[in-house]
Structure 1
Amino acid sequence: MFDSASIIIAGSTGLIGHYLLNFSLKNESVNRVYSLSRRSLDETSSKLVQMVSDDLSIDKNQLEEQTPDIGFITLGTTIKKAGSKAALKAIDTDLVVSVAQSMREVGVRHIYVVSCIGASSSAFSHYLKCKGEMEDSIALLGFSSTTFMQPGPLSGDRSETRKDEVLLQGVMSIINPLMKGCLLNYKPIEGEVVAECMLDLALQNDNAVGVHRYRSKAMFEMKS
């Protein structure tokens, strides 16, 4: 278990990343938080070092003596927001892998990446295929441990409203009581829960090795 961890977060303005940032700043086991973002954050803390750039690059001059042990990547988009399949792949695969490579280069040993259930490089769905290719690439980067969070539908407040998710959440609210066992992997899960699980796993597993995947069922069980 980490007693004094230094972490770096890419995607701290998104649904999961925002919660993750706030949990990290409040956690006594975290003494330094580096954030990678395209715009400055509203949060202020003596723990926080902001790295602002269009390409989410890591400014090595801003890294202090304790380089980050743990990296979190919570980046992602939708085909509607991206505008094309190529643009979605540029973010969900290429950008995520590039950020992971940068984290590895500065000494991050354990990485936690938000993916999604069904991610597979052989998937028929372009979205799931992009996520799968991202996972395959990051798994080969040589981190001491690599953990992919694979939630089902996400619920929770966003800075933007996604109509498809609102519709799905409405339908799921009716059938949620019936969802048990493996069906829990497809039950809407709050971004706050995913973020909390990511931080808990990271701080508890300082000796973790290999590649791991956690789906919604496991996350619900962790927080029950």
Structure 2
Amino acid sequence: MNSKLRRICLVGATGLVGSAIMKHCTGRDDVHVVGVGRRRSETVPPDAEFLAGEPIDWPSLIRESRADVLVCALGTTMKAAGSRPQFRAIDHDLVRYVAEGAVAAGITHMIVVSSVGADRQSRSFYLQVKGETEDALARLPLKRLDVLRPSLLRGRRGQSRPLERLGQLTAPAVGALLFHGPLRRYRSIRASDVAKAIVSLAEQPVEGRFVHEFDAIVQAASRK
């Protein structure tokens, strides 16, 4: 058995970033990913380990994963959630619940996918909730917390979204033209690069709280 094997518990394994993480780690001998979610989907590789259950059971599944690191790639949209309370229930309450379950299981390193512009003082409800979630996680007794704040994520989603697909196709050129200096953090990024960055960060031993925006995510991805 590889003594350097890193075990990652991935909550949100069937989403865009989660699927990319699963794919990126398939066949590797230095990292093992255990997905946790309501049900397995076709985006999860056939040979990947996946623990299915309702959200109320996820803390016990996180413990069962015997992971060193918790990665939370949970997230929805206002349209999919249907209401502000439902959006908060997923992007704040459920993320915090999962994190608390990880702490109870003895996991001391968490990596969470947030959003560029996350700020509890934001006028945007979406960004306000993201900021509140980051603050809630920062208060937990974790030795290391990595917060990734990507802008538009590029990649193929399970659902067909023509307008979003068009935006993904034009985003790289628009970003290169318009987003320079402090605005670079708003550049779009491939979900596969976010996945590579997450796997790279899962191996970092330095303790503390770290926020990664566009340039830092790209740099971390280049290490993997």
Q: Same fold (TM over 0.5)?
A: yes
- Asked if the contact 1:49–1:62 (Cα under 8 Å) also holds between the matched residues in 2, the reply is no
Matched, 1:8 2:2: no
**Count of residue correspondences:** 216
Alpha-carbon offset, residue 6 of structure 1:
1.5
Q: CA RMSD in A?
A: 2.2
SS in 1 for 2:58: coil
Alpha-carbon offset, residue 11 of structure 1:
0.4
- Percent of residue pairs identical: 30
Alpha-carbon offset, residue 27 of structure 1:
2.5
- Asked if the contact 2:152–2:189 (Cα under 8 Å) also holds between the matched residues in 1, the reply is yes
Q: d(CA) in 2 for partners of 1:125 and 1:61?
A: 32
Q: d(CA) in 1 for partners of 2:61 and 2:221?
A: 36
- Asked if the contact 2:62–2:105 (Cα under 8 Å) also holds between the matched residues in 1, the reply is no
Q: d(CA) in 2 for partners of 1:73 and 1:60?
A: 14
Q: d(CA) in 1 for partners of 2:159 and 2:169?
A: 17
Q: d(CA) in 2 for partners of 1:61 and 1:85?
A: 28
- The runs of 5 or more residues in structure 1 that have no matched partner are none
Q: Flag as ranges the 4+ runs of structure 1 deviating above 4 A.
A: none
Structure-2 residue corresponding to 1:219? 217
Q: d(CA) in 2 for partners of 1:174 and 1:69?
A: 38
Structure-1 residue corresponding to 2:168? 169
Structure-2 residue corresponding to 1:20? 21
- Asked if the contact 2:13–2:37 (Cα under 8 Å) also holds between the matched residues in 1, the reply is yes
Question: Structure 1 pair 136/164, CA: closer, same or farther in 2 (3 Å)?
Answer: farther
Alpha-carbon offset, residue 51 of structure 1:
1.6
Alpha-carbon offset, residue 61 of structure 1:
9.8
SS in 2 for 1:96: helix
After the TM superposition, which residues 1-224 of structure 1 pair with which residues of structure 2 at under 5 Å, given as runs? Answer: 3-30=4-31, 32-42=32-42, 43-45=45-47, 48-55=48-55, 57-59=58-60, 63=64, 67-162=66-161, 165-169=164-168, 171-178=170-177, 179-203=179-203, 205=204, 207-223=205-221
- The runs of 5 or more residues in structure 2 that have no matched partner are none
Partner AA of 1:4 in structure 2? L
TM-score of the two chains, using structure 2 as the length reference: 0.87
- 1:3-45 Cα distance to aligned partner (Å, 9 max, x none): 2211100000000000112223333212x43211111244233
TM-score of the two chains, using structure 1 as the length reference: 0.87
Instruction: Specify which structure has the bigger relative contact order, considering alpha-carbon pairs within 8 angstroms and separated by 6 or more residues.
Output: 1
Question: Structure 1 pair 61/162, CA: closer, same or farther in 2 (3 Å)?
Answer: closer
SS in 2 for 1:9: strand
